[in-house]
Amino acid sequence: MRTVYEAVGGMDALLRLASAWHARVMADEVVSHAFSHGLHPQHTERLAAYWAEALGGPAAFSGRYGDETAVVRIHSGNGPHEDMDQRAIACFDQGLADCGLAGDEQLRQVLHDYFAWATTGAMARYPRSVDDVPGGLRIPRWSWQGPVASA
């Protein structure tokens, strides 16, 4: 069976999705606040590499940029932000349409479910402090059936 990464169209498609999501986020008055401190010059490429690895593609993110601990720490210590999370998910769904990935209902649903799960789970798990995030976390994988158990 094809991985979600393969079904989405690989890295090129994920780069388009990351760009579309980021444009939507920056236009949103609530979610754009998350980037008010600035962002990495290769944010889009790093995000696409992260999604690629999570969706069954190559381990380019962890091979070049870091592990899940580093990613979760970036998103931690900011207090609860459920409204921002829901708006980020809506931006993702709109981004899917913007880059042509909303036509296949099964793929659209799997991508939505992945992004919602990641956004409201790992990325929101440590609202108090980055110091609460444990070391050595691995990028969680997602398949057509949902989260993949770590081996």
Cα–Cα distance for residue pair 148/66, rounded to 1 Å: 20
| pLDDT at 151 exceeding the cut of 70 | no
**What is the per-residue pLDDT across 32-89, written as a single tens digit (0 to 9) for each?**
887 777 777 899 999 999 999 999 999 999 999 999 899 888 877 787 889 989 999 9
pLDDT confidence of residue 23: 95
pLDDT confidence of residue 20: 98
**Two tokens at 32?**
């754009």
Q: Which of 112, 114, 107 lies closest to 142 in space, CA to CA?
A: 114
Residue 35: count of CB within 10 angstroms of its CB? 12
Cα–Cα distance for residue pair 20/8, rounded to 1 Å: 14
For the entire predicted model, the pTM comes to: 0.92
Q: Which of 73, 70, 78 lies closest to 31 in space, CA to CA?
A: 78
SS3 86: helix
- Give CATH for domain 4-148: 1.10.490.10
pLDDT, greater one: 78 or 25: 25
Domain range list for the chain: 4-148
**What is the per-residue pLDDT across 101-145, written as a single tens digit (0 to 9) for each?**
999 999 999 999 999 999 998 888 888 998 999 999 999 999 999
